Amino acid sequence: MKRIFSGVKPTGHLTLGNYLGAVRRWVEVDQHRSEALFSVVDLHALTVEHDPARVTRLSRQAATLLLAAGLDPRLCTLFVQSHVDEHARLSYLLECTATDGELRRMIQYREKSVRARESGDGVRLSLLTYPVLMAADILAYGTDEVPVGEDQRQHVELTRDLAVRFNQRYGQTFTVPRATQPEVAARVMDLQDPTTKMGKSHAEGAGIVYLLDDAETVRRKIMRAVTDSGREVVYDRESRPGVANLLDVLAAATDGDPEALAGGYASYGALKKDTADAVVELLRPVRERHAELAADPGYVHGVLRDGAERARGMARPLVDRAYRAIGLLPAG
């Protein structure tokens, strides 16, 4: 059976972008047709300035939200990255395989290091090496497929390069994974600035729909979305990014096609209203289930404990094999 790994970083509250770009497919498709592992990748949240108590809170919230969205611990393995030491163990070996030049080329590093410098914080070394830890997350499980949004494609490409290089140099050890993306809404854009991605670590803003926003807030944010100066509803990501983004979201929420949907609207107002209604309906069950699960932290804790144990059992033999392949003396 195909093996799948993916994760979310507890760097902010989960957004509609996370849901449409990744989580919904994990729930609806991936956990049913593969041996799937999903992780709250908390070590990645330490690569930028962070408040420790907030990371703890957001990690618990992200796990609860993933369950609320429909991940089923009977079908998949859900765990917290830092509970499984194999990720950090393997990351070091892969750092010995990667070059600093290829890490400096990563777009996210370039963008986030500028932000870190501008805010007066130094650029943490872990921000540079973060894609290597992500490669370890993926390779530790012999992963075949990594379902992610478009922003993560470059990191999965690097993961492939590192796997191939390690295998060629030290002998066949890792499966070479590939990224998969949703057909629609692989990159949901900020509603106030449709040229940038809707990102959960951006300052809280009117352009980001959070999964836990109440219906009124979701409606307000979508009705106030920045559109373009034209009037006609056409699907053109280049010249009409705001309208195209709304059409993408509406299409993803209603299983439609953005270009076909465009033809049914004579005004931006009607498009916004239908998009708002569709998103409210899409998120309603997630929010309701989250409220139930948040009242039962013992259940979530148990799921994460069992998940980490299963994940450890899967990762350890492969990571041990990599340690031997690279020439480290076995301990036992």
Give me the catalytic one of 200, 221, 272, 273. 200
317-to-86, 140, 257 alpha-carbon distances in Å? 10, 9, 44
- Nearest Cα residue to 134 out of 15, 9, 13, 49: 9
CB of 112 to ligand AQP, least distance (A): 7
In angstroms, rounded to a whole number, what is the distance separating the alpha carbons of residues 91 and 133?
A: 5
221 included as an active-site residue: no
CB of 259 to ligand AQP, least distance (A): 19
Any binding-site annotation on 17?
A: yes
Any binding-site annotation on 1?
A: no
273 included as an active-site residue: no
In angstroms, rounded to a whole number, what is the distance separating the alpha carbons of residues 164 and 89?
A: 19
- Nearest Cα residue to 134 out of 46, 43, 49, 12: 43
CB of 267 to ligand AQP, least distance (A): 26
As a 3-state breakdown, the chain gives helix, strand, coil percent values, each rounded to 5, of 60, 10, 35
| Closer by beta carbon to ligand AQP, 182 or else 307 | 182
In angstroms, rounded to a whole number, what is the distance separating the alpha carbons of residues 161 and 145?
A: 15
The sign of the torsion formed by the CA atoms of 295, 298, 303, 307 equals positive
- Nearest Cα residue to 69 out of 30, 43, 120, 42: 30
| Closer by beta carbon to ligand AQP, 5 or else 166 | 5
In angstroms, rounded to a whole number, what is the distance separating the alpha carbons of residues 117 and 120?
A: 5
CB of 164 to ligand AQP, least distance (A): 22
Give me the catalytic one of 112, 221, 272, 273. 112
197 included as an active-site residue: yes
Which residues, in sequence order, are CB contacts of 235 under 8 Å at separation 6+? Answer: 243, 244, 247, 258, 259, 261, 262
Give the strand pairing for 76-80 and 178-180: unpaired
Q: What string of DSSP letters covers 216-279?
A: HHHHHHHHT----S--S----TTT-HHHHHHHHHHHHHHT--HHHHHTT-S-HHHHHHHHHHHH
Any binding-site annotation on 298?
A: no
CB of 11 to ligand AQP, least distance (A): 3
| Closer by beta carbon to ligand AQP, 190 or else 322 | 190
Any binding-site annotation on 256?
A: no
| Closer by beta carbon to ligand AQP, 222 or else 322 | 222
Residues belonging to the chain: 332
| Closer by beta carbon to ligand AQP, 188 or else 308 | 188
| Closer by beta carbon to ligand AQP, 1 or else 203 | 203
**Residues at the interface with ligand AQP (CB under 6 A):** 8-9, 11, 17-18, 21-22, 148-149, 151-152, 186-188, 197-202
Any binding-site annotation on 213?
A: no
Specify whether the CB–CB gap between 166 and 323 falls below 8 A: no
In the beta sheet, which residues pair with residue 35? 3
CB of 19 to ligand AQP, least distance (A): 8
Enumerate the active-site residues.
Answer: 112, 197, 200
Annotated binding-site residues for ATP read: 9-11, 17-18, 149-151, 188, 197-201
Annotated binding-site residues for L-tryptophan read: 137
